[in-house]
Amino acid sequence: MASQRKTFFTDNIYLLSVGLLFLAGGVLLWLIASRYLRKAVNAKEIATSGPFKYIRHPIYASMYILSIGLGFIFFSRDWFVVLIVFIPLWCLECRTEEKDMIKLYDEKYDEYRKRTGMFLPISAKKRSNGSALRNISKAGRNG
């Protein structure tokens, strides 16, 4: 059965606009995160500035944002199904990377991990509550 599409892209100008915004945002985040990661790797440190200040995996997040944009631009429902299938696969990959980072940087990376979200920023309230709970539990163990 032949496609009913008249163009390669979606005919809906709103979906196309949203898709282009997501695509541009994803590319921009990817470029910025790559720059900060390169600096950290060259310094043999954990990347904790720029986008890494808020999330541990901004490059994966940027790829997802970019991919959502492509889904809107081409308006393919199948594309969104593929993205949903990839979520657990990317999470597994990130967990593996984080285990390697803990081996390399031990407690320093673990502390960084506790104050940042994997793909989305965590709220300052959650961050401060988490550290308050850790301090209480440490005090209980020491007392």
Residue 143's pLDDT is what? 44
User: What is residue 127's predicted lDDT score, i.e. its pLDDT?
Assistant: 52
Phi–psi pair at 43, nearest 5 degrees: -90, 0
Q: Calculate what percentage of the chain has a pLDDT beyond 70.
A: 80
Convert the pLDDT of each residue in 45-103 to its tens digit. 999 999 999 999 999 999 999 999 998 888 878 888 888 998 899 899 999 999 999 99
Span 19-48, average pLDDT = 96
**Amino acid occupying residue 143:** G
Query: Which pLDDT score is estimated for 139?
Result: 46
pLDDT of res. 128: 53
Whether the predicted pLDDT of 25 surpasses 60: yes
Q: By mean pLDDT, which of 15-19, 70-74, 119-123, 134-138 is the weakest?
A: 134-138
Q: Which of 132, 123, 22 is nearest to 75 (CA)?
A: 22
- Residue type at 80 in one-letter notation: F
**What is this structure's pTM?**
0.75
User: How confident is the prediction for the chain on average, in pLDDT?
Assistant: 84
The confidence score (pLDDT) of residue 86 equals: 87
Rg (C-alpha) for the chain, rounded Å, is 19
CB contact at 8 A, 83 and 37? no
